[in-house]
Amino acid sequence: MRIPHSVVFSILAGVLASSGCTSDKYHTWGYIKNNLTPEMAGISETKLDQERDLAVSNDTDWRAFSDDWGRVWLTDQPTKLSPYPLVNTGGNPN
């Protein structure tokens, strides 16, 4: 038994039409006009960009704090009071 093409096409068109675009609040003109740039959290950055910038800033601040703490406790370089030549363990030139 062979099904005519017109019947198959009609069934397929009905399935596609019933599963097409659904109407929800995110696809209405009122929702779109109230938030034209939904991904943007600032003028030129998305929320992800802002989180990345904050992570880089915090990482830099904590590493700088660690360096400062070494300077406070005088552990950032060997003593210069010794009469013998000492090796610089900090990796930075004097």
Q: In this structure, are residues 34 and 40 in contact, taking their beta carbons and an 8 Å threshold?
A: no
Helices then strands, each counted (H, E), the chain:
3, 0
Contact 88/77 with Cβ under 8 angstroms? yes
Per-residue pLDDT at 13 exceeds 80: no
Asked if the model's pLDDT at residue 94 lies above 60, the reply is no
Q: What percent of the chain has pLDDT over 70?
A: 80
Average pLDDT of the chain? Answer: 80
Residue type, 34: N
Q: What is the pTM of this model?
A: 0.49
> Both tokens of residue 43?
């003028």
How confident is the model over 16-60, as pLDDT tens digits?
Answer: 666 655 567 777 888 888 888 888 888 889 999 999 999 999 999
